Amino acid sequence: MDKNEQRICWYSSLLIALMVNSPKLLALRENGLMARYWHFNPYELLFQFAFSLTFCGLLFTINLFRGGWLSSYREKERYLPYAVFNILVFFGLLMTGAVLRRLFFPNLPSTRLVFSGSLFRLGLSTILTGIIIKIVLLIRNSSSMAAENQQLKNAYLASELQLLKEQMNPHFLFNSLSSLSAVVRENPQQAQKYIRDMSAVFRYALVGSHTDLVTLSNELTMLGSFAKLISMRLEDAFELKINIADAHLPIKIPHLSLQPLLENAVKHNAATAERPLQVTIEAKDDQLIFSNSLWEIPTPEASNGMGLANLNERFRILLHQEIEISRSETHFIVKLPLQQ
């Protein structure tokens, strides 16, 4: 039994012992009905109370002990031997109580009425104890099922999150290699710098692949390296502005949250020196706001929408919140929830 079950059993035993022995207090009235059949003896009353308390405690311990052979009968639904054992315990304790009473109080009369009273008290105690045992077992089973469901839920979320990461990394790799191919063709001298910055980005992606949440500071540092890759390719056609207060830097967000947004902005916009792609990142009202100017490509590249859907799913799993996506005539805006 755990501590809560022990408390329930202790308080229940105390309450039952008080209930079944309290009628004896009626013998204090000299002319009362109870006084005709039983002479009030405070020591005998204290003995009966202690015995009833011990009786209930033993029943609770025997029936609620985890891992015992009696509990295995109950779990395997072998109710006959389970019931027989409890009946034997009941009569064994009943006889033990009678012997002890005779031993401690030899001067008190031992009549059939006294034995019937003991049988009634222990019988009522058994019924009440059995009801509470059933309630404790129901609570125990409910808690066990809730714990199993939580474990299954955690395992499902972990596997789902891992699947999302596996979907994201190849997408990131293919786009980066495609960009590298373009840089090599356009400016071979910049290719070496591009490879160095790309290796820094992938190092961050791989090292943090087993980390679900990272600080906003680390995420922005990685984004700076990724922005350099874009700047090498777009040159004057790309601008990045970051306006984040120091108080927001320790806040944790899902690993690689900003890179897909910047990657999508580059992929779906036709940036030129006259109409540069302007990206702004700022924190307002417990939200990280990512916005980029819209210079849509006339014939956009086919997209399955995996990036934003993947990002939203990771926020839902890890932070239990979803991202907000909005669009105006001039800007595409994604708001990421921040948990202080």
Smallest CA-to-CA distance from 201 within 224, 183, 182 is with: 224
Domain residue spans in the chain?
3-150, 187-337
b/e map of 96-133 (b: 16 or more CB within 10 Å)?
ebeeebeeeeeeeeeeeeeeebbeebbeebbebbeebb
Tell me the mean pLDDT in the region 83-88.
84
**pLDDT tier at 279 (50, 70, 90 boundaries)?**
very high
Q: How many residues does the chain have?
A: 340
Q: 88-147 pLDDT, tens per residue?
A: 888 888 888 888 877 887 776 655 656 677 788 888 888 888 888 888 888 888 887 877
Q: 157-203 pLDDT, tens per residue?
A: 665 555 555 555 565 667 667 767 767 777 777 777 778 888 887 78
Q: Do residues 214 and 252 touch, judged by C-beta distance below 8 A?
A: yes
Tell me the mean pLDDT in the region 211-233.
86
CA distance 29 to 6: 37
pLDDT > 70: percent of the chain = 79
Say what the pLDDT of residue 134 is: 86
Say what the pLDDT of residue 209 is: 61
Say what the pLDDT of residue 305 is: 57
Task: Give pTM, 2 decimals.
Answer: 0.54
CA distance 330 to 300: 17
The yes-or-no verdict on residue 282 having pLDDT over 90 is: yes
Say what the pLDDT of residue 136 is: 85
Q: Which fold has domain 187-337?
A: Heat Shock Protein 90 (3.30.565)
Please tell me whether residue 329 adopts helix, strand or coil conformation: coil
